[in-house]
Chains A and B, each alone.
Chain A
Amino acid sequence: MRAAKKKSPARIYVTFAVVLIVCGFIGGIAGYATLSNEFSVRNLGQWVNQILSSPGPWWFVPGLLMLAASTWLYIRSKRLLPQAMVDDEVFPRVNLLLGQSMFLTNLSMVFIFVAMALSYAASWGVSWSILLLLIQLVWVMAMQARIVSATKQLSPEKQGNIFDFKFQHDWYQSCDEAERQQIGQCSYRAFKITSMIYPIVLAVLAILSIIDLIAPAYSLLVGLLWLVQQFVYNYTSLKLDKARS
């Protein structure tokens, strides 16, 4: 375990104060600039909306490209799979390829839903969007099922069916101490990043809702997501503390 870099308390307090002042200053300028240029910001908002909706179903392209890359990685891993079953040197490489392939399918899933929200351009019509959405969803599910199946061949102790709603639970239960530690590290990093992003997004949305550029409901929505994240984290932490005391 890497030792934490030691900082003097004075430095920590000064950094904290400087960050607060800088953020407050930036927020103040952004709020003032938005309010004093309300009309321009409205035009900018409309322009952004037009730009976002104009590609229509082309919004599905990034997701499709990711899926193509994921499929390519999967095919590479599949070719090496028989060798990895018997050769301990090849095993980590195949495991990594499968992990990268799964990573891309998970990213493409997010892009699919973003594309679904942005792709309803009048010139293309909704039918194209729905068709592309269905194709991509089927592709994602098929890829994930195949990747999980290949991982199970490599690690027969792994449990869970991708189409089962208890898949994550079953998979986690079949993980050993090192894998659980890895899941914990990944979750910690995701928690750390999202905890930083939520207040920033909330502040930006609050400024935009002040001038009625967006509905206050957007701030509420992000606030609720942040609340869920904080509640689940803290509640789970308390529950674990209680179980240990």
Chain B
Amino acid sequence: MPLQNRLKEFRAAQGINQQELGTLVGASRQTISLIERGDYNPSITLALRIAQVFHRPVEDVFYLTEEELS
């Protein structure tokens, strides 16, 4: 089940590209790109690191839709 995310939106707001975000959280640019496209669900550790970069709770960045929750 793909995890929904607002990574692209938060990244744009912060003015950083995929490579820079990858460097900040210790992931590759490819992985950031996969997460943004919903092709990869990050581990809890990586999700927390990403949320930390945006100074947001993790559930603001990653979430499940109502349909997926039911």
Contact = CB atoms under 8 A, between A and B. Distances in A.
A157 interface: yes
B20 to A, nearest CB: 11
Most buried by B among A88, A158, A181: A88
Interface string A174-185: 011111010000
B17 interface: yes
A155 B28 contact: yes
A156 B19 CA distance: 9
B38 interface: no
Contact of B29 (A1, A91, A175): A91
B26 interface: yes
A202 interface: no
Nearest to B29: A155
Contact of A178 (B17, B23, B40): B40
A154 B29 contact: yes
A178 B30 CA distance: 9
Interface in B22-70: 22-23, 26-31, 33-35, 37, 40-43, 46
A92 interface: yes
Contact of A91 (B23, B26, B33, B43): B33
Given A91-B33, A92-B33, A179 B28 contact: yes
A176 B27 contact: yes
Contacts of A149: none
Contacts, number: 46
Most buried by B among A92, A156, A158: A92
A106 interface: no
A88 B19 CA distance: 9
Interface of B: 1, 17-19, 22-23, 26-31, 33-35, 37, 40-43, 46
27 contacts: A1-B1, A1-B41, A86-B17, A88-B17, A88-B29, A88-B33, A91-B18, A92-B33, A92-B37, A95-B30, A155-B28, A155-B30, A156-B19, A157-B22, A158-B28, A176-B27, A176-B28, A176-B31, A177-B27, A177-B31, A177-B42, A177-B43, A177-B46, A178-B31, A178-B35, A178-B40, A179-B30
The 4 closest A-B pairs by CB, nearest first: A178-B31, A176-B27, A88-B18, A178-B40
